[in-house]
Structure 1
Amino acid sequence: MAVSKGDTEDEPREPHNLIELIETIEAIETPSGKLRFDAVLEAIGRRSFGPLLLLAGLVTLAPVISGIPGVPSLMGMFTFLVCAQLLVGRRTFWLPAWLRNRQLSSDKVHKGLGWMRKPSRMIDRLVYHRISFMTGDFAIRVIAVTCFVLSIAMPPMELVPLTVNIAGVALTLFGLAIMARDGLLSIIAFIITGISLFTMLYNLL
């Protein structure tokens, strides 16, 4: 959900698809060999719900990155905070310093993003504006509630193989749906969310 009021010329250009998001992250300089989460947020902007969901989805989806212990839970906390703030009406998303200052190996991040480049190009070709009521203001709030619930489930999902990656698919599709106003992706993401939650509960209960 983009915000125009109070924008400045220094506000980063919002990515509009998967490839643009990947290229934005890859362009961040990492002289220390570590990629700070805050640097990624600064590069993609803190005011748009879609790109932030897409970021959480990509990190959770990529096996090279999500396989690092604690990363899915970290993305769950990130999603939780972003969704909670959208639901209470905040226009710029705030995150605590301990989350912003988290770092990952830039080599692993680039490897994970490289793994996703080819499928991302294919997906971007299939995304376009359709079934717009599924990405309107009310629908975005429903998406936020759904992702809020999903974020709470992500830490226990680490105990069930692949379920957290399925959650990453759902977050990725929700982010893309909002950015491209593609209601079909939103519908698919709701279905995948249900599958990921059912799979987790089935294996843990």
Structure 2
Amino acid sequence: MPPAASERRKPISMILRELGEQDSLAVGEIIDRFGRRAFGALMFVFAIPNLLPLPPGSSTLLGAPLLLLSPQVAMGIPTLWLPKIIDDRRMAGASLDRIFGRLLPWVERIERVSRPRLTFMFGPAGDRVIGVVCTLLSFVLILPIPLGNLLPALTIGVLGFSLFQRDGLFALVGYALAAVSGAVLFVAADLVIDGVRHLVNWFGAA
């Protein structure tokens, strides 16, 4: 059953708080709570926890769903699709509450200054651009790079939030963060390649 119009207008923070009050929910039920805005909301939900101190390998687990979500936005698919094994998987509300409890105050502060604006940046073309950027960053997010997931995660979270809110100002911030992320990754990759080259030359001269 599609969610009511009032449900679709609820802010992310309120929906997350309600999810944390449930005993357990299937992933498909969580998606239904967000309604048509599920793409942006779930991109935000899976990206932002990477900014918290998490056990090693968590970014890979959180990044994997983004590799399913972001390409669908890039391809302009109107209804979110997930494999049945993921769609039926149940999550404890207490786990969701524990993960997002520390983030909710920040999310609520951001929501106070966010509203639909510069909406010309969204639509079939604008949404797909966000999907392409987030798809590329999702590949980076799943790589085991120490601290290398912070900027990509923040960028995906901001762009997902902008998609959910239809807030073009946040989209602009997201694109700026994407540019910074790309520059940092380029410099980091250049340093790694240069280091490997020096090691090869050192071993060759030994």
Distance 1:175 1:89, change over 3 A: closer
Q: Residues 72 and 131 of structure 2 are in contact (CA less than 8 Å); yes or no, is this contact kept in structure 1?
A: no
C-alpha distance in 2 between matches for 1:11 and 1:46:
10
**1:52 aligned residue (42, 47, 61):** 42
Identical aligned pairs, as a percentage?
A: 21
Distance 1:89 1:141, change over 3 A: closer
**1:96 aligned residue (70, 80, 83):** 83
Distance 1:126 1:52, change over 3 A: same
C-alpha distance in 1 between matches for 2:113 and 2:32:
28
- Give 1:20's aligned amino acid: M
Show the counterpart of 1:155: 142
User: Unmatched 5+ residue regions in structure 1?
Assistant: 1-6
Show the counterpart of 2:14: 20
Task: Give the Å deviation of 1:187.
Answer: 0.7
Tell me how large the CA RMSD over aligned residues is. 3.0
Q: Residues 16 and 179 of structure 1 are in contact (CA less than 8 Å); yes or no, is this contact kept in structure 2?
A: no
- Give 2:151's aligned amino acid: I
Distance 1:18 1:11, change over 3 A: closer
- 1:145 is aligned to 2:132: yes
C-alpha distance in 2 between matches for 1:191 and 1:138:
18
Show the counterpart of 1:3: none
C-alpha distance in 2 between matches for 1:21 and 1:195:
31
- Give 1:22's aligned amino acid: L
Distance 1:43 1:16, change over 3 A: closer
Moved more, 69-78 or 97-106: 97-106
Show the counterpart of 2:197: none
Show the counterpart of 2:195: none
Once the two structures are superposed, what CA deviation does each residue of 1:128-171 show, in whole Å capped at 9, x if it has no partner?
12222222331111001101111111122x3221x323222222
Distance 1:47 1:109, change over 3 A: closer
- Give 2:82's aligned amino acid: L
Once the two structures are superposed, what CA deviation does each residue of 1:174-197 show, in whole Å capped at 9, x if it has no partner?
122122221110010111122233
Q: 1:33-182 maps to which residues of 2 (within 5 A)? A: 37-38=27-28, 40-45=30-35, 48-61=38-51, 63-64=52-53, 67-100=54-87, 109-156=96-143, 158-161=144-147, 163-182=148-167
Task: Give the Å deviation of 1:77.
Answer: 2.3
* Equivalent residue pairs, number: 190
C-alpha distance in 2 between matches for 1:130 and 1:45:
20
Show the counterpart of 1:189: 174
Structure 1 or 2: larger helix share? Answer: 2
- Give secondary structure in 1 for the equivalent of 2:163: helix
Greater C-alpha radius of gyration: 2
- In the superposition, the TM-score normalised over structure 1's length comes to 0.74
C-alpha distance in 1 between matches for 2:55 and 2:91:
9
Q: Residues 79 and 151 of structure 1 are in contact (CA less than 8 Å); yes or no, is this contact kept in structure 2?
A: yes
